[in-house]
Amino acid sequence: MKRMLLGVLMVIVVLSSVGCGEGLGIGIARSEKPRETSPDVAASDLKDLVDGNSAFAFDLYQSLSDRDGNLFYSPYSISLALAMTYAGARGETERQMADTLRFLLPQDRLHPAFNALDLELASRGEGAEGKDEEGFRLNIVNAIWGQEDYEFLAEFLDVLAQNYGAGLRLLDFINAAEESRITINDWVSDQTEGRIEDLIPQGVIDALTRLV
């Protein structure tokens, strides 16, 4: 299980964040459909989603817990980011992702459930105060980068727009792999106020990359 979990994550996830940088043109591929801000999701679907996400979080912890030092990670961010790529998965890839990520719902119910959960979590930080009477911020940023001349299906873009309020940022991995990596890393650093730097190490993005 540990080998499969880490293998799937290594293959699919370089995708927690988006980027923009100087000297590198960035295009956008996005559906014109607006995000559904009041998704009609059954309580049982939301429960199945949360239960599955929790199970994946513990699976991931078991895979990472044998490392030295403190461990800090955000399983929800990983699940949310991978759900966006899962929208474009079919066949054996779809099955393996669902098994590893503990997705219990079919695609047509999974993504609206993620939308409802994301909107609920985002609303909790609006004007809320902790025990110290100080406000808090919950910032979750996930998006997908694609190869600029690759043809992405309209159905896939519709799911991203309606359920995640997202589209595809386009870069030229084929001819500018290292520049693309730096672009993404710079944006991540900016969005996390310098807390995450060099998210993607050298060599991870190359001319064969099509989706990050």
Closest residue by Cα to residue 166 from 85, 96, 100: 85
Q: Which domain holds residue 147?
A: 2-191
User: In terms of DSSP H, where are the helices of 40-90?
Assistant: 43-64, 75-86
C-alpha to C-alpha distance for 92 and 159, rounded to whole angstroms = 20
User: Does residue 136 form part of some domain?
Assistant: yes
Residue 116 DSSP one-character state: H
User: Does residue 62 form part of some domain?
Assistant: yes
C-alpha to C-alpha distance for 141 and 96, rounded to whole angstroms = 25
pLDDT for the residue 179: 95
The helix/strand/coil state of 183 is helix
User: Does residue 173 form part of some domain?
Assistant: yes
Identify the CATH number of the domain in which residue 79 sits.
3.30.497.10
pLDDT for the residue 27: 84
Alpha carbon separation from 188 to 17, 146, 177 (Å, rounded):
6, 17, 17
Strands lying side by side in the sheet with 144-147: 27-29, 168-171, 144-147
User: Does residue 200 form part of some domain?
Assistant: no
User: Does residue 197 form part of some domain?
Assistant: no
pLDDT for the residue 135: 66
User: Does residue 210 form part of some domain?
Assistant: no
pLDDT for the residue 33: 96
Residues 6 or more apart whose Cβ sits within 8 Å of residue 66: none
The helix/strand/coil state of 6 is helix
Residue type, position 72, single letter? F
User: Does residue 42 form part of some domain?
Assistant: yes
User: Does residue 78 form part of some domain?
Assistant: yes
- The token duo for 79 is 């699940």
Counting Cβ atoms within 10 Å, is residue 139 exposed (0-12), middle (13-18) or buried (19+)?
exposed
pLDDT for the residue 19: 32
pLDDT for the residue 209: 93
pLDDT for the residue 73: 85
H or E segment at 187? helix 177-191
Residue 202 has a CB neighbour count (10 Å cut-off) of: 11
pLDDT for the residue 133: 66
pLDDT along the chain (212 residues), means of 10: 45 37 64 96 98 96 88 89 94 96 98 96 71 70 84 93 93 95 88 88 93 86
**Domain count within the chain:** 1
